A and B are shown apart, each in its own frame.
Chain A
Amino acid sequence: MTDTYPGAARVGIGGPVGSGKTALIEQIVPRVIKRGIEVGVITNDLVTQEDAQRLKRSGLIDPERVIAVETGACPHTAIREDPSLNIHEANVLEDTFENLDLILIESGGDNLASTFSLALVDYWLFVIDVAGGDDIPRKRGPGVVLSDLLVINKTDLAPYVGADVDLMVREAKAVRGEKPLYLTNCRTGEGVDAVLEQVLHDALVARSPK
């Protein structure tokens, strides 16, 4: 039995400014390519195309598979209230690369309240970091509470900023219930395999036929 192409899985990556969203994408991209998964990336920036340029130049991915969306002042609008621009670009990627399996959409760095519309993505991650303060999970921002998967990044910095990672994990679990949570160091790639495994599992990413 054959079925018609349902499009690529669309996975959102949100989180506060500088938490490591692009760094996580830079870790994920080579891993998925190695597994034969066809990937594209959309980045959202306020007024520049900084992240898109960084990815295009990285050598990790065909630059044509990276698209920048400029959001203007309010980055969360483009992923929640009116995601039409991002939906359009995702459609463009799918039309251009017919066997696309996965589209990663990085939101512009925002605050703890940003969430993705499920009209845009099938699944979304929220990336926070230990240097942003170990009280962040306790503050119960919608991103921390509602995201499908929470990433606590920059674990390597915990000793330097006096962050209690165990406390962060405990408090994050308390507000998130059963939903998954992973610790990462996106400089070295530590913990990224587990994140990827969970995303592939939950977002039902297919593999292009060879």
Chain B
Amino acid sequence: MRATRRHAYTLTKGAADLLVLNEIIGQAGDPDISRRLHELDHLGKIEYITFSKEDALRHRVRVVTDHGTECAVVLRRSARIVDGAVLLLDDDRAIVTRLSERNWLSLVPRDIAAALELGYQAGNNHWTVRFDGPVMRIAVEGPERNYLDRLAAFFSDRRVTRIDDGR
């Protein structure tokens, strides 16, 4: 059993004003919770925090809700942030998480040779990819330009084409 103790995240400027969120109370879809959220929603008292898929893996992170409330999310290692996780549920306020969709770069190689080379390039860069038949999708972390520049040679001689098929 781990010790129970008080935590003061007061080492640095502004920490005293942070709202510490240290547990996942439940899911927005849970019947009991959803009823209460519904009431708060009418009063405009639900605040949302949007996480990228990567940031949702974190257990400690500073975030600002869409209402501008500065929060310190400090979760146990076993907790996992998913879409609709309820981090606070009071009579006059709720805080709920949202996961933003991942941004994928969708690429179609012209022929097998281009496909092999593109696959090699992606692997060599440790990019996260998804294969969708003839389309290779690369998960974009950070600025998209960093990926496009690396692939510039493929685009310039049209060995690879970027498509937007809404996925």
Q: Which A residues form the contact surface with B (CB < 8 A)?
A: 1-7, 9, 35, 37, 80, 91, 98-99, 113, 115, 117-119, 122-123, 140, 142, 145-146, 175-177, 197, 200-209
Contact = CB atoms under 8 A, between A and B. Distances in A.
29 contacts: A2-B6, A5-B3, A5-B4, A5-B5, A6-B7, A6-B22, A6-B76, A7-B76, A7-B77, A35-B11, A98-B2, A115-B126, A118-B54, A123-B58, A140-B149, A145-B146, A176-B142, A197-B12, A201-B15, A201-B62, A202-B62, A203-B60, A204-B9, A204-B61, A204-B72, A204-B74, A206-B7, A207-B8, A207-B10
Contacts of B72: 204
Nearest to B142: A145
A145 B140 CA distance: 12
Nearest to B80: A119
Q: Is the interface of A mostly helix, strand, loop or mixed?
A: loop
B13 to A, nearest CB: 7
Contacts of B9: 204-206
A161 to B, nearest CB: 26
Contacts of B77: 7, 91
A114 B59 CA distance: 21
A30 B72 CA distance: 26
B79 to A, nearest CB: 9
Interface of B: 2-13, 15, 20, 22, 54-55, 57-62, 72, 74-77, 125-126, 141-143, 146, 149-150
Contact of A146 (B7, B20, B141): B141
Contacts of A176: 142
Contacts of B57: 117-119
Given A2-B5, A5-B5, A204-B72, 7 more contacts: A3-B4, A3-B20, A6-B22, A6-B59, A115-B126, A146-B142, A206-B9
B59 A122 contact: yes
Nearest to A206: B7
Contact of A98 (B3, B62, B75): B3
A1 B22 CA distance: 12
Most buried by B among A113, A118, A146: A118
B2 A4 contact: yes
